[in-house]
A = this chain, B = another copy of it.
Amino acid sequence: MSSGSDQQDIKREKILEAAYQRFLHYGYSKTTMNEIAGDLSLSKALLYYYFPDKSQLYIAVMRKLAAEYIQKLQNKLNKFDNLREAFIFQIDTQHDFVVKNYNFFDFFRVNEQNLPDTIWEIITEIHQTEMVLLSAAIQIEADKGNIKPVDNPGEIVDLLLDALHGVRVSAVSHKKAMFPQKEHLEEIHTKRLLLLDIFIKGLMY
């Protein structure tokens, strides 16, 4: 499947790492190809030897991040004691992911309405992984008889994820900050736990 030598792959990795650091610290638009090349003491032209253009480089980094995130989720598949635990894991993991890479995602905010299809595919893939993980957790809980049998676990998961998302969005837009402050993070987390408890309770008999 994969073409190219080991050497090539190693260099590719180095470029991805350097690019990631730049994108993370300065955002997509304030990072130049020259700077990435400079960090590696390479010529800019070499970057174009390994990646067709800047946006493809960004997407390649994104893909790597997504793969790590997905891996983290898949490691826990079917490893939960109960539904609540599964959702808390997803909430915390996603939260860490977003916080850690906040600046990296400025690409999303800038290109808002017309993200490349490839990005959408990555987002979809992440979403599906979350769905699989959490749907399984719901199914298990239903099989154990702790909650009502659900004909479509995915639908329920989707709904709860949307609702949890709302808790974040509202907290942000009520206040005027673009990104929740440290203090608000705690509040959001508390609210989410409350919502989660009520929701799970609502699934019971």
Contacts and interface: CB of A to CB of B under 8 A. Distances in A.
Copies of this protein in the assembly total 2
A100 interface: no
Interface in A150-183: 155-156, 159, 161-171, 176, 178
- Interface range, A side: 20 to 34
A5 interface: no
Nearest to A203: B198
A110 interface: no
Contacts of A165: 166, 169-170
A201 interface: yes
Interface string A82-115: 0000000000000000000000000000000111
Nearest to A202: B202
A199 interface: yes
